Amino acid sequence: MLDVNRDEGYTTADGRKIGRVAMEMKNITLRFGGVVAIKDISFDIRWGEIRAIIGPNGAGKSSMLNVISGFYHPQEGEVWYKGHLRPRMRPYQVARTGIARTFQNIALFEGMSVLDNIMTGRLNHMNKGFFSQALWWGPAAREEEENREKVEKVIDFLEIQHIRKTPVARLPYGLKKRVELARALAAEPSILLLDEPMAGMNVEEKEDMSRFILDVNDEFGSTIVLIEHDMGVVMDLSDRVVVMDYGKKIGDGSPDEVRSNEEVIKAYLGVQHD
């Protein structure tokens, strides 16, 4: 049984110390007209952990991610972030608080090069406005240079040097996913949200992506929230798992706990055996 202390956190299976609460979802309910997408769900995300949200198709996982990133606004419940109740925010405002995300159906700037795409991730780190860029070239150029260096680091890290100048539209699916991850990483986010990072990939690409996710967490200490419906992948990657089914939370704990949870087994396997 994973022993999670409210204030001090816990130690993972591989011996990493997980710290305090970064974000807490309290009694979130999200409705679209009469359809209840998320029903009274609470859970927390702690600094430095890899937190997975899993569930069958239509369970409300992506809706939950959209609530965190501000694309959806829940009718009930509270989002606490860095110890404060978060007011209603637009998605771009949420992004500016240090929450970066990827999308299930890849949302890249297709007409721009890989490098330019990743540079957009740095927009919030560029403070020099338009007029200072136009009138005071020096500092703005230096700022561009510094951000470029950060981006190059991410490019090296994700091993996409060879495609930096390629327009994104020409890339194969697996690489696009990696570029999208790079753009999110370039923002140096406090919390990184990944919506089905492995969807539609072959086995080899999945292994690569898993390795990158672990490395990102390890190297940058990033807090990662990821959604998957491929159980196997999730169990190997994550420290703690929230399981959703029909908009409700049916399990929450370490991968082992979740695996042996009766309701989870029913939700996942029951369908197949019935």
Partner 1 sequence: MPDTLLFAMEAAVNGLAAGVMYALVALGFVLIFKASGIFNFSQGVMALFAALTLVGLQTGQIPFSHLINAIFGTRLHHFGFTLPTVVAIIGTVAVMVAFAWLVERYIFRHLVNQEPIILFMATIGLAYFLEGLGDIMWGAEVKRMDVGIPQGMSETVDDLTFAWFGYGFFVDTLEIWAAVIAGLLVIGLVIFSQYTKQGRALRAVADDHQAALSVGISLRFIWVLVWSLAGIVALVAGIMWGAKSGVQFSLSLIALKALPVLILGGFTSIPGAIVGGLIIGVGEKLFDFFMQPIVGSATENWFAYMLALVFLLFRPQGLFGEKIIERV
CA–CA gap between residue 3 and residue 25 (Å, rounded): 20
Question: Using the rule CB under 8 A, is 178 a contact of partner 1?
Answer: no
Q: Which of 32, 92, 136, 173 binds partner 1 (CB under 8 A)?
A: 92
Q: Which of 133, 166, 190, 210 binds partner 1 (CB under 8 A)?
A: 133
Question: Using the rule CB under 8 A, is 71 a contact of partner 1?
Answer: yes
Residues 59, 241 contacting (CB under 8 angstroms): no
Question: Using the rule CB under 8 A, is 211 a contact of partner 1?
Answer: no
Q: Which of 19, 56, 77, 91 binds partner 1 (CB under 8 A)?
A: 91
SS3 per-residue string spanning the chain: CCCCECCCEEECCCCCEECCEEEEEEEEEEEECCEEEEEEEEEEEECCCEEEEECCCCCCHHHHHHHHCCCCCCCEEEEEECCEECCCCCHHHHHHCCEEECCCCCCCCCCCEHHHHHHHCCHHHCCCCHHHHHHCHHHHHHHHHHHHHHHHHHHHHCCCHHHCCCEHHHCCHHHHHHHHHHHHHHCCCCEEEEECCCCCCCHHHHHHHHHHHHHHHHHHCCEEEEEECCHHHHHHHCCEEEEEECCEEEEEECHHHHHCCHHHHHHHHHHHHC
| CB of 10 or CB of 220, closer to partner 1 | 220
Question: Using the rule CB under 8 A, is 267 a contact of partner 1?
Answer: no
Q: Which of 9, 74, 121, 255 binds partner 1 (CB under 8 A)?
A: 121
Span interacting with partner 1, options 2-10, 27-35, 95-103, 201-209, rule CB under 8 A:
95-103
Report the 10 Å Cβ neighbour count for 249.
Answer: 23
Span interacting with partner 1, options 5-13, 51-59, 92-100, 251-259, rule CB under 8 A:
92-100
Question: Using the rule CB under 8 A, is 190 a contact of partner 1?
Answer: no
235 to 254: interface string for partner 1, x by CB under 8 A? --------------------
Contacts with partner 1: how many residues (CB under 8 A)? 32
| CB of 225 or CB of 243, closer to partner 1 | 225
CA–CA gap between residue 44 and residue 57 (Å, rounded): 22
Q: Which of 13, 58, 78, 123 binds partner 1 (CB under 8 A)?
A: 123
Question: Using the rule CB under 8 A, is 135 a contact of partner 1?
Answer: no
CB of 17 to partner 1, least distance (A): 30
Report the interface residues with partner 1, using CB under 8 A: 69, 71, 90-93, 95-96, 100-101, 103, 107-112, 116, 119-121, 123-124, 126, 128-130, 133-134, 183-184, 187
